[in-house]
Structure 1
Amino acid sequence: MATAKVGRIKLGSQGLEVSAQGLGCMSMSAFYGPPKPESDMIALIHHAFNSGVTFLDTSDNYGPHTNEILLGKALKHDFRDRVELATKFGINYSQGARQIRGDPAYVRAACEGSLKRLGVDCVYLYYQHRIDTRVPIEVTMGELKKLVEEGKVKYIGLSEASASTIRRANAVHPITAVQLEWSLWARDVEEEIVPTCRELGIGIVAYSPLGRGFLSSGPELVETLSDDDYRKFLPRFQPENLEHNKRLYERVNEIAAKKGCTPSQLALAWVHHQGNDVCPIPGTTKMKNFNQNIGALSLKLTPEEMFELESIASADAAKGDRYGETAATYPESQTPPLSSWKPE
């Protein structure tokens, strides 16, 4: 199938404009099985750019570091200045164990490292990947604000942040985008996080809009996962929850068949229909899946179809938590008051 050019949207109220759909690059290098062949991934990134997908998402945590290095190589020629490159900081492995860090020295060091690996002078959109609950958000934001003033960061974002954390951060420096998991099987953010973003004029970037592949392939996906695929350990992919979650996929698949599209296109179209302030960033390592995903942009859903999808995919339709018990997610992202901060 021929790929159509992808349009543009304004993300947030600070002037950022991105492609209407982005490309999540994590699975090219980490977490979803072994790293994929570099040449194939660079070809996919180039194909995405030529199709109009210019909003590319990575993190220093992916690898760690190897995904940023891959993006740096892919963007080495021709279009480095014509993409909206987003990366993240905050998850650190330097001490052997996984740590969440938002202290000023770490923020600055992480940014310098990402700039070098990506081969750029300025990160277009720089997210705090996870919130350090030991450091007041105002302290982390203060250092990010300095990086903006120095021209090393253009726009600031947060990922997996609570509504109160978003408000406190935005009071220090405008937040351009909040990245959150939003899909037909992850709708809890609609209660408080999404309304807060909209009240403050913050754009919304939806990661895992295909339920980590489950809304594309259903329970058969689990049978294809390699032993080191992170999804094998997530609660929603466990046998005790999979049989229940299978029903959600089957219903989505039925509606997609009636609509004449794939279940992944239907699931992505549902996210697009949440508003023109929402940009989903489905990840893939296959050209065929990429082409299929951008086909979702031309899929129009009627109010009746939206209602039917939302009736089968209520906020608690999926069984099992999004992450394991030790994950740092937005409900646990409160930080101490600024008055408590004692710099080392």
Structure 2
Amino acid sequence: MTRRAQQTLIGAVRGFADRHLDDDAVCVALSGGADSLALTAAAIRAGLTVHAVVIDHRLQTGSAAVAARAAETARELGASAEVREVTVEGAGGLEAAARRARYAALGEARDSRPVLLGHTLDDQAETVLLGLARGSGARSIAGMREWSAPWGRPLLGVRRADTREACAGWRLPIWDDPHNDDPRFTRVRIRKEVLPLLDEVIGGGAAESLARTASQLQDDADALDPPATELLEECAYGRALDVQPLRSAPAALRTRVLRGWLRSVGANDPVYRVVRAVDALITDWHGQGPVAVGGDERARLVVTRRAQELTVKRVPR
């Protein structure tokens, strides 16, 4: 069992490298947890030249010692390693702020190398369920991509249990983040409560099925995103959007155009309700007022229709 898990991990990394990498030099985002630790070990054994980047979020007592220990473990495996401290702050809650800080630090540390992340099939299943529950649309339900330069996820087809088994076989010291068991976080409850119940109800295989759903939706997105991008370029000029070319566009293209345009004018991650309201300014126009699409404590961001044009502006609160 242990050897099988190890071979699965090494094979996953080798396959990923063959599909996506032009060079054997990579960064690995290392937390010290089983997934990223197993990825680091497997990448080295797959023949990659690994530089481990450990992000210390400084959110827990003793985090500096945890980060230093993870970096030292990477060096013992044969990687180079560094620790980067970040400050977690900003809107969107603790998880979102930590993610922004982490990815920014990894982007600075990578020095033109791709960054490998330890997300597993279980993480993918949790992401799909969260997207479904929030009604976030196909882009969210499609989950995480194996490769979206410079970010790579070689373990999206590997179960979390395999990473722990491999680490045990390689005698690697796993650090279990207390946040991963904290029910205050929605993802933790999905992991601990929802997925096990779903597995019980359908007789097993829930995580694999959800991951397959993500893969199929990624194929759909690959077909729809390029024409949506072309349509957006045709319609958008500055902070305005020409309504006329969008009126006859299929809804799948039109809503992709609207999401892209809203992001470009400052509406971060527009939810379904917002996109639907803005879409109604195009498809069900009867003189309705502005649609709020975001903002901050000083001003709201609103979209208004005038004649054949949508415009966005900030309105002081």
Q: TM-score band, normalised by the shorter chain?
A: 0.3 to 0.5
Structure with higher Rg: it is 2
Q: What is the TM-score when the length of structure 1 is the normalising length?
A: 0.32
Q: What is the TM-score when the length of structure 2 is the normalising length?
A: 0.34
The structure with the greater share of residues assigned to helix is: 2
